[in-house]
Amino acid sequence: MHYDLIIRGGICVFPWGEAKADLGVKDGRIASLAVTAQDDAAEEIDATGLHVLPGLIDAHVHLRDPGNAAIESIATGTRAAALGGVTMVFDMPNTSPSITSAATIADKRLTVAENALIDMGLYVGATRANTPELAALEQEEGVCAIKVFAGSSTGDLMIEDDEGIEAVLRSGHRRVAFHSEDEYRLQARKPLFETGMPHVNHMIWRDEECAFLGTRRITALARKTGRPVHILHTSTAEELDWLAAHRSHVSVEVLVNHLTQVGPDCYETLGAYAVMNPPIRDQRHYDACWAALRDGRVDVVSSDHAPHPREAKEKPWPQCPAGLTGVQTIVPVMLDHVNAGRLSLTRLVDLMAAGPARIYGLQTKGRMAVGFDADFTLVDMKAQREIRNDWIASPVGWTPFDGKHVTGWPVGTIVRGHIVMRDDEITSTPIGRLARFAP
């Protein structure tokens, strides 16, 4: 048998467990899990000593395109993702202009075709004006979900009231993703804080009740309308305990930062480079996120990659924008957690491949099986590296994990059989495209 690509000798993480296998790829799809010694291919990879994972997905990024390419773009953001072992990203709609119409989706579709190194999905932003069209917009090619900012947004990308949220949930049928902080509580507490206060006040202002109240309200509306929802960047013990009783309607994302960094220490060491929404919280919430991940309450782990230039981040709090880079570092950081015994490699694959595919309705991604897209993340679980700012491909050139030593490193990124990254080098032209989602 002749293949386009053969990956030999790796330890593969299948849905049914880990096993050494030789994989054959033809026409961008997995054609065999049992290639023989007599079979050949146009290209072969010796994966001896490596783990071969189904292509890992970062389901929550802000590539700022359209916007300012000096901060981030689809070209630079997907390059960062590929260097970090990520084979697909889902991009948020709060760009300039926002992605809220068929026309803006079409424009972005062209940008993806011309610039993306890896595959993508697109969120469409919900507004009061486009709510009647959301049922049609969620069916546009490449759209992974509708995104609702119920708190912490600007312009018309804000629907904070129950009536507006309910109207969104009654327009269409696919799962809706939410930033669920409660805007009313945020604004009521804002006068308590002044410019120049220490950065730790970020987690005090945007406190547990701010997140929990937003999540309770959205959960109630999901149950009322029967519409499935996805709570992005869930960050509190209260939310995670609450959502365990509402799994019929609500799925859960947790960010790598909430599994890795702890307040107030992170604010003392990083300052504005620890400021994100929802905030990094204290040890109690860190422990709760890990407990929920271990017992299955968490469906997806993402980065919420949201770059800002240094000059903006270094303004006094709260003028400094919230948001951290993360798409390039999420895989090394999570592999380090695997090596530390906090989760298994199989569970990581569930959270960053099978989980996003299940929640968002990806048709041919998220698992290694014959007929699925030939997306693979090759990792060296024994490699010891230091994450450094000078490795970061995003134009802003910084990471909150600068100086962090990790064990486990991505050494190959393969998208539909195309080797996009190998041993820290980009080896492909832009071959990314928009994925297909269940209607």
| Residue pLDDT, tens place only, 307-352 | 999 999 999 999 999 999 999 999 999 999 999 999 999 999 999 9
Q: Calculate ∠ Cα 38-39-41, nearest 5°.
A: 140
What is the rounded CA–CA span in Å between residue 214 and residue 181?
Answer: 5
What is the rounded CA–CA span in Å between residue 314 and residue 381?
Answer: 35
- At 151 the pLDDT is 87
Side-chain-side CA neighbours of residue 159 (13 Å): 23
The answer to whether the beta carbons of residues 121 and 433 sit under 8 Å apart is no
Dihedral sign of CA atoms 345, 351, 354, 356 in order: negative
Catalytic residues: 304
Reduce the DSSP state of residue 147 to 3 states and report it: strand
Residue with tokens 């803006």: 104
**Polymer length in residues for the chain:** 439
What pTM does this model have? 0.98
Residue 152: pLDDT band by 50, 70, 90 thresholds?
A: confident
- Please tell me the chain's helix, strand, coil percentages from 3-state DSSP, rounded to the nearest 5: 30, 25, 40
Q: Does the structure show a pLDDT above 90 at 422?
A: yes
CA torsion angle 308 309 314 318 (round to 10) = -30
Q: Does the structure show a pLDDT above 80 at 154?
A: no
Query: pLDDT per residue over 35-65, tens digit each?
Result: 999 999 999 999 999 999 999 999 999 999 9
> What are the structural domains of the chain?
2-52+371-426 (2.30.40.10), 55-360 (3.20.20.140)
